[in-house]
Every structure is written in structure tokens, then in C-alpha cells.
Amino acid sequence: MAFDIDMIKGVYSKMAERVDAARKITGTPLTLAEKILYSHLWDGKTEKALVRGKDYVDFAPDRIACQDATAQMALLQFMQAGKKNVAVPTTVHCDHLIQAKQGANKDLKRANETSNEVFDFLESVSNKYGIGFWKPGAGIIHQVVLENYAFPGGMMIGTDSHTVNAGGLGMVAIGVGGADAVDVMAGMAWELKFPKLIGVKLTGELNGWTASKDVILKVAGILTVKGGTGAIVEYFGPGAKNLSATGKGTICNMGAEVGATTSTFGYDESMERFLRATDRSDVADAANEIKEYLTGDDEVYANPEQYFDEVIEINLSELRPHLNGPFTPDLATPVGELGEKAKKNDWPLKVDWGLIGSCTNSSYEDLSRAASIAQQAIDKKLKPKSDFGINPGSEQIRFTAERDGLLTVFENLGATIFTNACGPCIGQWDRSDRKGEEKNTIVHSFNRNFSKRADGNPNTHAFVGSPEMVAAIAISGKLDFDPMNDTLLNEDGEEVKLDIPVGLELPPKGFAVDENGYLAPTEDGSSVEVKVATDSERLELLEPFTPIQDSELKEVKLLIKAFGKCTTDHISMAGPWLRYRGHLDNISNNCLIGAVNAYNKQTNFVKNQLTGEYAGVPDTQREYKAKGIKTIVVGDHNYGEGSSREHAAMEPRFLGVAAVLVKSFARIHETNLKKQGMLGLTFNTENDYDLIEEDDTFSFVDIEEFAPDKPLTIEVEHKDGSKDTIIANHTYNDAQIKWYREGSALNLIKKQNA
């Protein structure tokens, strides 16, 4: 039986009425995304057709999911809200703080020793406030959600950008910052600009070496890392129905890499099969009763150009396997063409590691397809030329895969089975063959491949592919290996060719697990004590942010002008810094240390205008803070791309940065800045970015008149006394300006609850 079945049935009981009303008001057929959005409006119904990309709308999500790294700050904030219990079903999943090194048992034991105080805090605060808790080793948040909580037609938000994975079961699931989650936990509405809609029509059927992963690798190449910003990507067509539910999840998961608000598929038989296989026949039965409301209207899919803002069509029968990278997930190259490209760009062809797993590709189907390649290597006497690492998605998958012999196949090939956790995908990897200054190549089935993402090494070239393609390339040890056409020399000196991978959508003997790792909260948590040591270096109770005064926005100093790509990984790195995710002061020592200074092209080396000397970004900013001087950060396009981590907004806010002025923002980061009471602004004229000089001082001329749809004027004074005037646009509405004026959205919630 499903978790929260009464809540799910409650959603379904209202859906038909709300969708019918929305269809009448809009006067048009509806996409699936629109059906879910209109049926989750905060006030239950709408009086007007909502304008895509313009109207800010209040929603009522059904549930919340948090991973352990972001849950710390989210729950520290929730503790300030003055509530006895979370208002909607919420879960915490411990998957980010487990470093991959020696293998599952040793790595999990070490994590429980080194991060015990964080796990104890999360378990105690979850128990106190009615939150479901998944212990370390239980699995990766998004796979656990897909197996236990996701349901067709639902709306979920989560404090991780890959919350979108749940679109594989027909949800609108959206990654947010912790402050957004806190709003909903506290019983408040969740605000989102009504998304635009991108339709992806899939025809044909996957065959040969092509996998679901290749669909999103192709889409990423088409849309680029910012092409989906502000939009929901909805997949449909006969090809979509031919994909498994976990394959759909893979596609939705990596939709975060094109900047999409989320991605989703209409309810179909593959979703029903997955629900029943994961002991949720009650959800499948309830969904079947309203299944026409759990997919887009027929007319929409028949004439998509009339109802979507953009339409992409992909014939799965003709789709080729891809490898995307290095350094960006949208650099798409069909397998077979990568060798020439690699030689031209001096990318190392020797592959050192093949890594399979992560929230993107760790299902039973993924492991079975990769294991079929691994078994071939054994049978054909091929010795792998690369190291292998495997991260199962959940304890249920690990247990089932072990029972069915899949893990034994990998182990016979010399693979290391890591914990059911994120591991190398998020930089939690103590790599055994550190490369230093030497260029090196790895291939993986993860979602992101930014510089330094997996192992902290800027010289590591990471390429993204399907699990079966990763297995084949790791066996060959060559980036330019094309298993569809190339042969390999086995231990007997014979040339052999790998056969087409085969896999199983679901385990033939069903899923099984001894201990899934779930702890239900006590019914009354009023007497539960939240565990936070006063002398902890990893956890720290929060103090409310003080509102930024208009008078402080005169003679603001430039902290850093970031050059090129500046993701949340650059602004607030993960890896070893994950240990400080619950201690704002300590983690602020990584603030912007990965951003490239536009003036010297170095990282963590900026000019202190007070002394004229160069130092690290956090040290320089702390000196400005000590002197009561506000600062500004200037950036390029898609600033804040990547993970949803609100630390990338909270750290600069804590240290005294007042504004971020960029060419364009990634959606989640812009919202996070607003939530924390900062100014997130964009250049009205992009070329004004070039006007900013290293010693500039900024004065916000008309900040007293801060209002919706009214640009701000900034006077920039250069070192020689000359001045430029810059017009800065913003997307703040009245409610968001109140957040700013109160110092943060949380401050406003507390004020309203007082």
C-alpha cells in the first residue's frame, strides 16, 4: 500500500472538476502540465486564463522531499517558523553525505561515524515535526521517491534540482530552494511564475544500443543548458508510451540540465506496471479511474504546435546513442563521432573510470542492461581497461539486484559496489587514482559533468552516457570506442564484438528488500529534543537576516565580476564542503571560491578595494562586512545554473552581498536570492557587463522607488572618477518586494504568524 494514499485519493477526487473548470475558462484543450498546475492552485480554482511566462501564481503542492545536504538548512529555517508540524507530507533522505571510496559497507560505516551529528539532527528534527526519515544507505532521494511517493497527476517540490525525476510517474515535480520548501511546510502557498510549455513528440521505438538516456542527451544538445528555462517540458506521442517508467524518470531527471522548471509524461501502462510492481496497486487503481485527466488532451497531442510554445520531434527508431561533454551536459555527440572531436580538442582518449548509477540511472532496468554488457565481457574473455564503480539507486534495488545476480556480474568484472547514495555524481568520491595536473577522462551515467564536479579535479574530462554505453566504453578503455561497429581484442588474442544490450524493465521475481531504511515520525513530537550541539562546527542555529536599508546601497563595492559559466557549484562548492551545509558561518568560507575573476582569470583571488591587495573571495568579503560596506556580484548568462542549493544565495547574503547583477539567471537561483532578501537583477543592456571595472563603486539611485515592472537605475563610478549609468531589470512582484523589505521571506512568515 502506498504512503499517504488518502492524500492521493483526495487529489484525484478534485481533479476532474478543477480541470474541467480550467478548460472552460481557458477555452482550449489542456496539456498534462496545465491540468496539474490548474488543479493545484492555492485557492482551488482560477477566474482567468493564466499567462505563461508572466503571471505569478500561488500553488498548493501535495508533498515535499529533502536530501540531507539541503535539508539541514531548510529545517533550521523551518524551526524558526513557529510551527508544531509540517503542513504537507514531507520526507528527508540521507544520500549526499556518504563518500565513495572503498565500497558500500566500509563507506557507509565511515559516513555514520563522521556525519553522525548531522544524521542525528535530521532524524530528531524529522521526528519532532512529523517528517518521514530515510536513513543513510536507504537510497538516493529521487529513486526512493519514484519507488514510494511519486504519483501521476501530483505536484511535489523538493530541495534538490533533480526532484524533477518524479515526472517519470506523471508528476509536476519541481526543484526549489529550502526557503520555498519552508513556506509549504509552514502551510503557506508556493509561488511560481506560470511556466511556458515545450512539447517533445516521440515517435518510433528505441532499439539496439540506444537508451532512454539518449533521448535527453539529444534534447540537451537541442535546447542547451538554458533553453528550457521558465518552461515545463512535456513528452508525448507513441514513442513516449514505449518507454519504461524508470526510463521516463531518467529523461525527466536530466531535464534540469536544460534549465527546465520540470519535465513530465502522461500516465500510461508503463507507469501502471511500475506502480503495481512497487506495491502501489491502490494508486494505480485510483489513477485508472481518472486516467483521461492524467495526460494531455487528444487535440493537444494531435496539433501540438497550437498548444505548446515550442515543439521538438524525435524519432526513437532513428536516434543514435550519445555521449555528452566534457564540462557541460549539453555538448552532445553521437557515439562514433567522438573520436575525431576528441582529437581535435585534445581530449584524452584513454578512459580511467566508468561510473554507473546516480539518481539519473540507477534503476533495476539500468543495472540489468549494464550487467548484460558486463556479462558479455566475462564470457568473451575481455578484461576491462578502466575501473568500474556502481551506485545502486535504493536498498530495494540493491537487494533485488543482488538476489538476481546482477551485482555479482559487476563484481566478477572487478567493479566496486558503492553505497546506495549519490557518491561521485556530486563530488563525494575519494578517487583512488588521483590525477593532479594530468588531463584524464571518465565516463558516467550521471546528469552533470561540470569542471571538478565528480572528483574536484579541473583536469578531469567527464562524459555522460547511458549505463550500457558507459559499461562498453569502460571495458574498451577508449573514449572513441563504438560498440556498434568496433571490435575488441580478448585475452586469447581474438577480435570480438559486443552484442546489443538486453535488460528487464522490472525484476521477473518482483522487488524485495529486508530493511528499506525508513523511520516513521512519532505522532506527537512535542517532547522530542532537536539535537544541535552548541560547539558544533557542522550545525548552527540560524539568526534572522537584517533587512538591507536603502541607505546602505550607496557606494557599494564590487566583490567579483564572474567570467563565463558560474554555476551553484562555483558559488558554493559541494564535495568536502558538504560537511558544513548546516553551519552558515563555516560554509560561507567557500562563497564564490570557484567563480573565475574576469580581471585576472583566476579563482578565489579578488581585489580588496579597501587595501588594494588581492585575497580570497570570502576573506575579502568578510573585511567589507566588518566595515559595514555592502557589495555587489556581477555575472554572465545563466548565473546560478545547476543544483538548487540555496547556500549559493545564503552565503553571500550572510557575508554582506546586497545585489547580484547578471546577464541572465537560472530560475531556482534567482528565486533563492529573492527569498533571502537580496536584489537579483539583470542588465537591461547586456553589453553593460563590459563597462564594469575592477575598482568600481555602485550607487542605487532610485532604490527607494523599488516596485514591480520598474527597472532600477545604478550609477557606476570608476576609479578615474568617470561614471556610467546602468539600467537593471528585475522580476520582483509585490510579495517578493515585501520579502526584500523584511529581510527575507522567512522573516515575513514569522511576522505573519506572530
What are the tens digits of pLDDT across the range 510-560?
Answer: 999 999 999 999 999 999 999 999 899 999 999 999 999 999 999 999 999
> Is-catalytic flag, 96?
yes
pLDDT of 1 strictly over 70: no
> Is-catalytic flag, 160?
yes
What is the structure's pLDDT at 753? 73
What is the structure's pLDDT at 540? 93
> Is-catalytic flag, 95?
yes
Mapped onto helix, strand or coil, the DSSP state of residue 479 is coil
Mapped onto helix, strand or coil, the DSSP state of residue 742 is helix
The answer to whether the CB of 284 falls within 8 A of the CB of 1 is no
Instruction: Give the three cell numbers for residue 533.
Output: 550541539
CA distance 336 to 322: 9
* Residue 311, H or E segment: strand 310-315
- 670 by Cβ neighbours in 10 Å (0-12 / 13-18 / 19+) ranks as buried
pLDDT of 300 strictly over 80: yes
Residue with cell 478543477: 18
How many percent of the chain have pLDDT more than 70? 100
What is the structure's pLDDT at 292? 98
- Average pLDDT over every residue of 263-274: 98
pLDDT of 357 strictly over 90: yes
- Average pLDDT over every residue of 700-709: 97
> Is-catalytic flag, 124?
no
pLDDT range class, residue 81, cuts 50, 70, 90: confident
Q: Which of 4, 160, 455, 482 is catalytic?
A: 160
- Average pLDDT over every residue of 351-372: 97
**What angle, 0 to 180 degrees and rounded to 10, lies between the N-to-C axes of helices 364-379 and 395-403?**
40
Question: In this structure, what are the phi and psi dihedrals at residue 339, rounded to the nearest 5 degrees?
Answer: -60, -50
The answer to whether the CB of 518 falls within 8 A of the CB of 133 is yes
- SS3 string of 588-611? HHHECCCCEECCCCCECCEECCCC
CA distance 437 to 30: 54
What is the structure's pLDDT at 754? 65
> Is-catalytic flag, 583?
no
The answer to whether the CB of 91 falls within 8 A of the CB of 134 is yes
Q: Which of 244, 386, 643, 644 is catalytic?
A: 643
What is the structure's pLDDT at 630? 98
Q: Are strands 614-615 and 606-607 parallel, antiparallel or unpaired?
A: antiparallel
Q: Which of 96, 322, 637, 730 is catalytic?
A: 96
Q: Which of 398, 448, 647, 730 is catalytic?
A: 448
What is the pLDDT of the chain when averaged over all its residues? Answer: 96
CA distance 466 to 315: 18
- Average pLDDT over every residue of 409-415: 96
What is the structure's pLDDT at 353? 97
Q: Which of 63, 93, 461, 645 is catalytic?
A: 645
pLDDT of 82 strictly over 90: no
What is the structure's pLDDT at 435? 77
pLDDT of 384 strictly over 80: yes
Q: Which of 4, 62, 68, 95 is catalytic?
A: 95
CA distance 29 to 99: 48
What is the structure's pLDDT at 681? 98
> Is-catalytic flag, 718?
no
pLDDT range class, residue 178, cuts 50, 70, 90: confident
